[in-house]
Structure formats: structure tokens, C-alpha cells
Amino acid sequence: MAIVRPFKGLRPKKELASKVAALPYDVMNSEEARKMADGNPYCFLHISKAEIDLPSGTDIYDDSVYQKSKENFYRFIKEGILRQDTEPCFYVYRQVMPVEGGHHSQVGLVAGASVDEYQKDIILKHEQTRQDKEDDRTRNVDTLNANTGPVFLTYIAKPEIDAIIDKIMEGTPENDFTSDDGIRHTFWVVSDKKIIEKIEEKFASLDHLYVADGHHRSASASRVRDMRMKANPGHTGDEEYNFFLAVIFPHDQMQIMDYNRVIKDLNGLSEEEFMVKAAEKFDIEAQDAPLYKPSEKHSFGLYISGKWYRLTPKPGTFDENDAVGSLDVSILQENLLDPVLGIKNPRTDKRIDFVGGIRGIKELVRLVDSGKFSAAFAFYPTSINDLIEVADAGKFMPPKSTWFEPKLRSGLAVHLLT
């Protein structure tokens, strides 16, 4: 069963919601965050990226950053920018994103997710975490005594849950605004106890929830829970620290974009030598177009020296029955990036960088044409079914396999641990 729990959300004053809501802390660097928050004292980045209020160049893991974050957080509460609901509620969060030819809409339940279920693999993961990032989020959550950024969860869609959510959306929303990037954000408060019970009941029938995005946030919530439990001789399991902030979406509303790679050098090979070695494992076709985007699974775009090529893996280069090995990110890594370009660990190698699909194929061309990178690889997006298959198998995807859009805004609901 999947336990979801209502909580007393700490939320922005209604008229300030659009000013408070901010992109997640981990999709921009410190200088980009400074620009985003410039002139907006209500921006949640003053809490989630508190180094923007410290001297430029401050180490993001410095003690002063965590203390500044705590100072700003409790100032927001004291000044009434953030206010806590008096009773536990669920919340419904809809995002509508313009896309080519129309729009993409996704609607999720904002709730407390169970740390116990995370630890027992009822909430399944598909990525491994980095120790430094996990340590950072653990310290952040513990210092603020709150989950400030939501974990993005998904589940196999159920019509009866859809029907409940659709009914809630017929009511008047608490917040409804469009952010600078054109995404519309609508937020409903669910306080009716009968509806809350019905939601709990329907989610309890699910076998699993899946972490789509937010592996470091969920891992840190787990660690903080264990710390609090150890320090609390009267621990019951019902304390707020046993739950973490999540927004939970049905799988058929997920939008995963391509997560592309750019390579700084060809590992000492000439371009001709590189193409010869690539041709050992891939069929290569030149593309007569200024931009090329793969249109199907198991095909790649290669941009090098101002030209695009389509790469198709040859038979026998991967096992179609291997949930991880048949992923496109694995195929390229095992057949080209590692054996030819010498990139053995893309998680740590400084010769590779990653470009989310939201930036577009033009960004790959720009980076290579600038001379900063020698080649770029464009991917077809990993599917949500691939993600679920890997998680169900108890395996992990390679790093940077999925890029979800739109990104959840931080600050619309915060979960306090006590």
C-alpha cells in the first residue's frame, strides 16, 4: 500500500504566491539564482539558494549558507509571507506548459509521503545519489526543520484517483498564476475530511510510488527521520518527520525530455579516426539539416564540425531484455563514450557535460560551434515506462537519464517536521 498523509502546509500569503514560487534549487547556479531573485524580496530562492544573500563566491556548502537559509526562512514566517494552515490538508497542483502544437498539463497531489515506505522500497528509486549532494540536503532539512522542496513522485494511473482530483479542480483555486517562463500554476487546498479520507483510501490500493525527480531530497528526508528517531526516546512513528513533502502525479501525465551530452575532446583521436571507431558499433548516416533530433528509441544525433549524423546501434551491441542495458544512455555509454572516448564514469568525468532538452537542440550546436566542446550527442527521451521497469527490477539508471518538465515550483507548500 502507498501511504499519503495530509499536513498543515506552510504557504504564501495568497497575493504573494506568484512572487514566492521559485524553480528548484538544483536547476540553476548561484549567479543565475541571484538574477532570478533580483528585486524580489519574496522569492523563495532567498531560502533555497541563500548564498545569493551572501558575498559572491561563497561556497554553497559553507556554514553561513545554512544559517542564512534558516534566518530567511523564519523571517518569512515572522513577517507573514508564509503562513501555516491550522488543519492538515492535501493540496492539488496543476501545471500547464506551452509546447509545440499545444500545451502539456499535469496534475499532482501534494502530500506527505512515508519515509518507512521509502526505506522499504514501496517508494521505488531509479537513480543513485551523490554523497555531497545528499549531505547538503540532509543538513538543509535538519537546519530548517522543514522539507522546503518537494519530491516529484509518480504512480501507475488509476481512473478512480483521476476522478477525485478532477472533482477537486471544479472548485475555486487558492492560487492561479503564470510564471515568467509561460507555465501556468494552479493550486487547490483540500480540507474536507471526507475527501481526504477518500484520497488516503485510494492511494492505499497502490502497490508502489516511484521517485521521478528528487532522489537527493527523498534520501535526505530518510536520513533526517533516522536522526530524529534516534534522538527521540518517545518516538511513535506518527511524528511529522516520518513524512516528506511530495507532489504525486499519475504516470500517464509525465513529460520526459531528452537529456543530451556534450564532449570536450575526442580522447586524442582525429575526427576521421573517431568516426571510423564509431562505425564499428553504429550505422552512421549524414543528415542534411541544420538541426537534427532523433525521432525514435535507439537512435542518436551526433553533431561534429558543423554537421549532423544519425547513429543507429548495430545488432548485438546491447541486450534488448536488459532493463538498464537497453536504455539509450547505456547503449551510448557502453559502445562509444567509454571504449572510444575514455569516459568511464560520466558522473565524475570533467570531459562530459549534460544539456537538458528544455534548452533545445540549438544549444548543442551553439556549444560545439563555440569551440568549448568537440561533439554533441542528441537523445530520444527515456520513457516513463522505461523508468518504471528499471525501478521495478530494483536497478538504477545511469546518471542524467531523465529530464522532467515542467519543474515543480518550491515555496507553494512547505512541510514542517514538528
Q: Both 266 and 240 in a single domain?
A: no
What is the number of domains present in the chain? 2
Establish if 386 belongs to a structural domain: no
pLDDT at position 399? 85
- What is the domain extent for residue 284? 259-380
Establish if 46 belongs to a structural domain: yes
Q: Both 120 and 251 in a single domain?
A: yes
pLDDT at position 377? 98
Q: Both 77 and 222 in a single domain?
A: yes
- pTM, rounded to two decimals: 0.93
Inter-residue contact 384 to 390 (CB < 8 Å): no
CA pair distance 272, 372, nearest whole angstrom: 20
Helices 193-204, 159-168: axis angle to 10 degrees equals 160
Q: Both 322 and 342 in a single domain?
A: yes
Query: Do the strands 403-404 and 256-257 form a parallel or antiparallel pair, or are they unpaired?
Result: antiparallel
Establish if 391 belongs to a structural domain: no
**Phi, psi at residue 358, to the nearest 5°?**
-60, -25
Establish if 329 belongs to a structural domain: yes
Q: Both 347 and 370 in a single domain?
A: yes
Query: With b meaning 16 or more CB within 10 Å and e meaning fewer, what string describes 36-50?
Result: bbeeeebbbbbbbbb
Q: Both 86 and 228 in a single domain?
A: yes
Q: Both 122 and 242 in a single domain?
A: yes
pLDDT at position 150? 97
CA pair distance 177, 123, nearest whole angstrom: 31
Per-residue pLDDT of the chain (418 residues; tens, 9 = 90+): 899 999 999 999 999 999 999 999 988 999 999 999 999 999 999 999 999 999 999 999 999 999 999 999 999 999 999 999 999 999 999 999 998 889 999 999 999 999 999 999 999 999 988 899 999 999 999 999 999 999 999 999 999 999 999 999 999 999 999 999 999 999 999 999 999 999 999 999 999 999 999 999 999 999 999 999 999 999 999 999 999 999 999 999 999 999 999 999 999 999 999 999 999 999 999 999 899 999 999 999 999 999 999 999 999 999 999 999 999 999 999 999 999 999 999 988 999 999 998 889 999 999 999 999 999 999 999 999 999 999 999 999 988 899 999 999 999 999 999 9
Q: Both 166 and 89 in a single domain?
A: yes
Q: Both 216 and 364 in a single domain?
A: no
Nearest C-alpha neighbor of 20 from the set 163, 174, 137? 174
Establish if 312 belongs to a structural domain: yes
Q: Both 119 and 16 in a single domain?
A: yes
Establish if 396 belongs to a structural domain: no
pLDDT at position 139? 97
CA-based angle 96:47:247, to the nearest 5? Answer: 35
Establish if 87 belongs to a structural domain: yes
CA 103 to chain centre: 20
Q: Both 243 and 266 in a single domain?
A: no
- Indicate which CATH number applies to the domain containing 274: 3.30.1760
Q: Both 298 and 196 in a single domain?
A: no
Distances (CA, A) of 47 to 82, 140, 146, 147, 413: 12, 10, 11, 12, 13
Establish if 356 belongs to a structural domain: yes
